[in-house]
Structure 1
Amino acid sequence: LSRRHILASIDASLERLGTDYIDLFVIHRFDPDTPIEETAEALDAVVRAGKVRYLGASSMHAWQFMKLLAFQRHNRLAAFISMQSQYNLITRDDEEEMIPLCREEGIGLTPWSPLGRGILAGSRTSSTVRADTDEQVVQWYEGREEVGETVAAVETVAQARGISPAQIALAWVLGQPGVSSPIVGMSKPHHLHDAMGALSLTLTAEEIATLEAPMLRCRRAPRW
């Protein structure tokens, strides 16, 4: 996240996109090798130049994000308005620090992987290519009893409503305090249908309790 890299990346993105500005420019991860002053001032420069309208950050520790945000605000620089972290029914670490921080500071949450890389959509089987090749799924989720129980809970609630598991899982994320918009990937028409359906879906307290029960049973402070 050096000044040189940020400026070059913005110009390259604008050229590829064929546009004059980027609505939301998100930095990915914290760069321990670049002073936060350099990163923050470079981001401010692209906003003041009209090349970027708003700034966001992604996938870092809460203390790292607060360090950057505090420097931006103290020096009256363009500051982050959003945080993009992994958050779903089976990955809830950010409820300990990042989400409370963002709510306190007025930062919008835009969670990625709201369906747990497809696991919560109920569509992953041992015969899929992704099931055989996605190493992160194996690392994060497989072999955890509570994950299987959560998937089963999602499917139970979905069947009772007569809708897809994906809509249930997305509706849960959308209903969490501070969440502005989950980031979803779509490769098939029904993925769009699921995302749109979740927007108008409000889960009951009983449904939420059913969905959250498996992970709550295995929670260990201070992390999930």
Structure 2
Amino acid sequence: MQYSQLGATGTFVSRLCLGTMTFGGADNPAGNAIGRLSAAETDVIVGQAMDAGINFIDTADVYGGGGSETVLGEVLKERRKNIVLATKLSGRVGSGPNEVGQSRLHLMDAIEGSLKRLKTDHIDLYQVHNFDPLTPLENVLRSLDDAVRQGKVRYVGCSNFAAWQLTRALGISERDKLERFVSIQSFYSLAGRDVEDEVIPAAVNQNVGLLCWSPLAGGLLSGKFDRNGAADKTARRALIQFPPVDETKTLDIIDVLRSIADRHAVEPAQVALAWLLDRPMVTSVIIGIKRPEQLDANLRALNTALSDEELRELDAVSQRSVTYPRWIQTYNAKSRVPDGYPFPSASWALGQTPA
């Protein structure tokens, strides 16, 4: 297993993080597409992941209506001390008007609920699941800071924030001497590279860890889909069109993935994961698992070494149009430095500075 430091915490997490949306809970509107694994099934996968060196597990209070945290708490037990355990709050967890969001009222209740379901006395990484437009960031950060000071939380992070929301939160933390976000969890995939415009440069600049959710775009890059649709009609992506992507463009990406996968005698999913793992700004890639053989396959991505030419192929087929102001800032970037000085404009635009 490979490990990366989580932001500037000094804590190391596995490059692959076990996602738990498939654990526990009842049927969802799309049936069992996401998964509702039992405690016994979850125990097998958690043990398999830990045996492979995975020490990072991510869940949320909304997954399976709390069922994911409950099942995870049942199976971790003595394993807990060897896991960097992350969960999230913000989504609606009840019908009441305050059972949602990041108000101090709900946030403190949500922490207690997660601790109880997870059968633990602390959460290693507590993340706000989305931006709350109704609760001032000052209030959210103060509540999170209190949770850290109370010993219920070790580190705090955010998910699905825009770059300006992340940097504003970091500024408030610095100004008011509050705990700062050490990580941001974002959708990042060959099929979804929006975060490269603003979020990644901000995260790299501020030494905030990047955790990637849905690296296979809801299974679209798994190898189960082609121009004729899904080979498995019960696959998650065949039932739930999430996250939204440009599927026409993604089919072109899948063609290249298949070609490269054939060269390495692996599956397209492993190539898609290997592309993400090759990117130095990525701290950890969150993989959702329904069956042990899926985890085995995803783990092989760690040993899938893509050549420079293959990385260029994937970059070319998945590249988006450069947005403003990035295009103007990189337009004459090379003229800024003497000939021969290492200043690749594409890397600079992603928040990297010249060597």
TM-superposition CA deviations, 1:95-148 (whole Å, max 9, x none): 0110011111111100101111111111131651334421335x4233x2x211
Among candidates 299, 304, 315, match of residue 196 of structure 1: 299
Q: Indicate the percent of aligned positions where both proteins have the same amino acid.
A: 38
Change (3 A) 1:18 1:104: same
> Which portions of structure 1, spanning 4 or more consecutive aligned residues, are displaced by more than 6 angstroms?
none
C-alpha distance in structure 2 between counterparts of 1:202 and 1:161, whole Å: 9
Secondary structure of the structure 2 residue equivalent to 1:26:
strand
Secondary structure of the structure 1 residue equivalent to 2:261:
helix
C-alpha distance in structure 1 between counterparts of 2:174 and 2:284, whole Å: 24
| Partners of 2:161 and 2:184 within 8 A in 1 | no
Q: Does residue 245 of structure 2 align to residue 140 of structure 1?
A: yes
* Larger Cα-atom Rg: 2
Secondary structure of the structure 1 residue equivalent to 2:183:
strand
For 1:53, the aligned partner's letter is: R
CA drift of 1:196 comes to 1.4
Q: Does residue 316 of structure 2 align to residue 213 of structure 1?
A: yes
Q: Does residue 255 of structure 2 align to residue 152 of structure 1?
A: yes
Among candidates 191, 196, 207, match of residue 90 of structure 1: 191
**Structure (1/2) with the larger helix percentage:** 1
C-alpha distance in structure 1 between counterparts of 2:175 and 2:139, whole Å: 15
CA drift of 1:33 comes to 0.4
Change (3 A) 1:131 1:96: closer
TM-superposition CA deviations, 1:141-172 (whole Å, max 9, x none): 33x2x211101101110011001111111111
RMSD: 1.6
Secondary structure of the structure 2 residue equivalent to 1:110:
strand
For 1:221, the aligned partner's letter is: T
C-alpha distance in structure 2 between counterparts of 1:99 and 1:202, whole Å: 23
Q: Does residue 110 of structure 2 align to residue 6 of structure 1?
A: no
| Count of matched residue positions in the alignment of Structure 1 and Structure 2 | 219
Among candidates 172, 175, 181, match of residue 71 of structure 1: 172
Secondary structure of the structure 1 residue equivalent to 2:288:
coil
Runs of at least 5 residues in structure 1 that lack an aligned partner in the other structure? none
Q: Which residue of 1 aligns with 2:116?
A: 15
Once the two structures are superposed, the pairs formed by residues 12-161 of structure 1 within 5 Å of their partners are 12-124=113-225, 125=230, 127-129=232-234, 130-136=236-242, 139-142=244-247, 144=248, 146-161=249-264
C-alpha distance in structure 1 between counterparts of 2:295 and 2:239, whole Å: 25
| Partners of 1:170 and 1:195 within 8 A in 2 | yes
For 1:128, the aligned partner's letter is: K
For 1:68, the aligned partner's letter is: A
Change (3 A) 1:47 1:59: same
C-alpha distance in structure 2 between counterparts of 1:150 and 1:174, whole Å: 17
C-alpha distance in structure 1 between counterparts of 2:206 and 2:232, whole Å: 44
CA drift of 1:90 comes to 1.4
Runs of at least 5 residues in structure 2 that lack an aligned partner in the other structure? 1-101, 327-355
C-alpha distance in structure 2 between counterparts of 1:39 and 1:64, whole Å: 12
Q: TM-score, normalised by structure 1?
A: 0.92
| Partners of 2:219 and 2:237 within 8 A in 1 | no
| Partners of 1:150 and 1:212 within 8 A in 2 | no
